[in-house]
Chains A and B, each alone.
Chain A
Amino acid sequence: MVDVAVVGAGQTKYGNHPSGLKAMWAEAASKAFSSIDGDFKPEMIDEAFIGTIAFGGAQLGNTAALLTEHSGMDGIAVRRVENACASSGFALRDAWMAIKSGQADVVVAGGIEKMNDLTPERKRYWLGVSGDTEWERLAGLTFPGTYALMARRYFHEHDSTHDDLVHVSVKNHHHGSMNPQAHIQKEVSFEKAAGGFMVADPLTLYDCCPTSDGASCVVLAADHVARRMTDTPVWIRGSGAASDRLALHDRPSITQLKATQTASTKAYAMAGLDATQIDLAEVHDCFTIAEVIATEDLGFAPRGAGGQFAREQQGSVNQGNTTINASGGLKSKGHPLGATGTGQVVEVFKQLRHEVGTSRQVRDAETALTHNVGGSGATCAVHVFGRER
């Protein structure tokens, strides 16, 4: 079966973006296209999959057609992919499957979200639309609340305290301070992160990712055309995806994400790798507790030892076996919901081509993983990448 490579990747800076949807998407696509150093024209693209929640409701219908119309992809088959915050992780998987199926050779996967042009009221409405509305939302929960429930239970079940979450925040802000694409490019001290404004007890402001505008775009190609497009493709070696009960209370455990475990098991098996062989991972740290749990679910730390992993700063760039969130993660790089999954791929693309150019470059990186979660874990897409096929 055909192998699939990432041959181009680009994104806007995340944050309060001055542009609207069309200009943001065009910028991300332009950067992705210009990162392709070999034979490429937009006319070569067969299909496009664009992940977005369409936050705010401004362009809920036919979002993808509107965006590709403004980025040189007129006339191709496009669709919007929606799986909450995992929308573009699944767009990537759909694009990968399109090539794997033999129906397409060059496919675009991307994502976009415009979040900061809304009134606070409208923003808070949209921030809570991906949980189980009828049961969780009527119990007063948005995602800070949901992850706060998980955090407190995690502390109860394991040898962990809020200080472990503070270590995650400090690390990711350190990484993000070196990333010119990050929403929040500044260091945060342990003391400041520990004493942040309480959002949802026990989670403070420094445990929560920002709401960001942003777009990201990656170009995938089948092996028989990839080599013409670049000398340094990044190969997708494994893809796994899964779902779980939408509502937290419907799951047997709320301190692990079954969807992550299932998706990563599939992705590792397809790649022929295990967690110890991954050099860097971009994990879905929408809240700091999510990174602690993800390090366990993805196999970087034993069950119950995610807090210790953070405490010992094993995920800091070039400190442990696997660097976690070299980009700054959602916490610092930002979280433009639909753009996040393929935005993780943009980071991995640069890291595995050794093009980062600052001290957050993971030394001799050969393998990488992306982990994109929808909601509190109802959907998850995991991909494993390598410099080699």
Chain B
Amino acid sequence: MMPAMVWMGYLIDALDDFTVIQSPFTMEGIRVFGADSDATTLAVAAVLHRLQRETINSISVPEGVDGLSIALATGVAMHTEEMEDEAEWDVLMSEEATLVLARHGADVHLTAMDVEIEVDAGFYHAMERAWDQELSVTHVSQGAYVSRAQYEEAGTSRLSLTGQLAEDGPVWPPRFNHLVDSTSVPERTLQRTGTIQTWTTLSAAGAPSEFSLRAPLLGGISTVLLRLDDGPNGVFLTVDDEDPVFAMDSRMELVFRRLYAQEGFIRYGLKARSVSG
């Protein structure tokens, strides 16, 4: 086993032609996804890691991975069957909670990483059942209603922190006043880090109804108001499978995770996790 590097809450091993990324959690010897993670969230983390050192022009993803959300979160185009060229990179899934982002045609081999955090089987299966129930197409609005169209319109700002550049600094979430006076507003992607200005943990009984299936399993849900390093403030859920350090001015990073599901599709978003330093 090789010592694991942690990236956005996942284990990662980046080589020249491919990146292996996997969940740190195991159950009875099998690697499993965390409570708000899936193949799509792993893929986003892998792409963002790769983008630190090179440009990616297009990716193909297998069935079951949300290509649109990956594109919105990373800015990388999804490869479609109509395109003449092959995808530059492919997302490849293994049976366990492990995924590979590989240059097309690369010779890939999986690496074993040395972090294994055992999760309680009862908790894991209860969360899986809750997500399945939430994902049912018959699970309709008893929660905040964010339609697919609304989700996609705000996709780049929600998933990749794309803001607007105003005279006195970045603005995020973006505003629409420029449509009134027909001016153009330059965009800017903000850093995914910030400091805690305040926080709360809602009891399971007080959590919004769209989280009502999972909040009791999690012991409530926590929200932080962060001042992003680029200036604007935002509110974010914390990741489900870690215990954040709640203190004024403590630092957090934003990672791509599942928020909730409704009417058959998952709304993804950025959640906060503690970072040191």
Contacts and interface: CB of A to CB of B under 8 A. Distances in A.
Contact of B142 (A122, A138, A139, A140): A122
Interface stretch (A29-37, A196-204, A222-230, A316-324): A196-204
Interface in B216-255: 221-223, 225, 232-237, 248
A201 B210 CA distance: 20
B216 to A, nearest CB: 13
Contacts of B173: 135, 247, 250
B221 A140 contact: yes
A200 B202 contact: yes
Contacts, number: 116
Interface in A213-255: 247-250, 254
Contacts of A152: 198-200
A141 B208 contact: yes
18 contacts: A121-B212, A124-B212, A125-B141, A128-B144, A133-B144, A133-B145, A138-B146, A139-B269, A140-B207, A140-B237, A142-B206, A145-B202, A149-B200, A153-B197, A156-B198, A201-B201, A203-B200, A250-B173
B111 interface: no
A153 B198 contact: yes
B203 A148 contact: no
Interface residues of B, number: 40
B108 to A, nearest CB: 36
Interface residues of A, number: 36
Interface of B: 141-146, 150, 154, 158, 173, 197-203, 205-212, 221-223, 225, 232-237, 248, 259-260, 267, 269
A137 B267 CA distance: 12
Nearest to B175: A250
B234 A199 contact: no
A201 B235 contact: no
Interface of A: 121-122, 124-125, 128-129, 133-142, 144-145, 148-150, 152-153, 156, 197-203, 247-250, 254
Contact of A199 (B203, B209, B233): B203
Given A121-B209, A149-B225, A137 B144 contact: yes
B142 A156 contact: no
A250 B174 CA distance: 10
A78 B47 CA distance: 57
B198 A138 contact: no
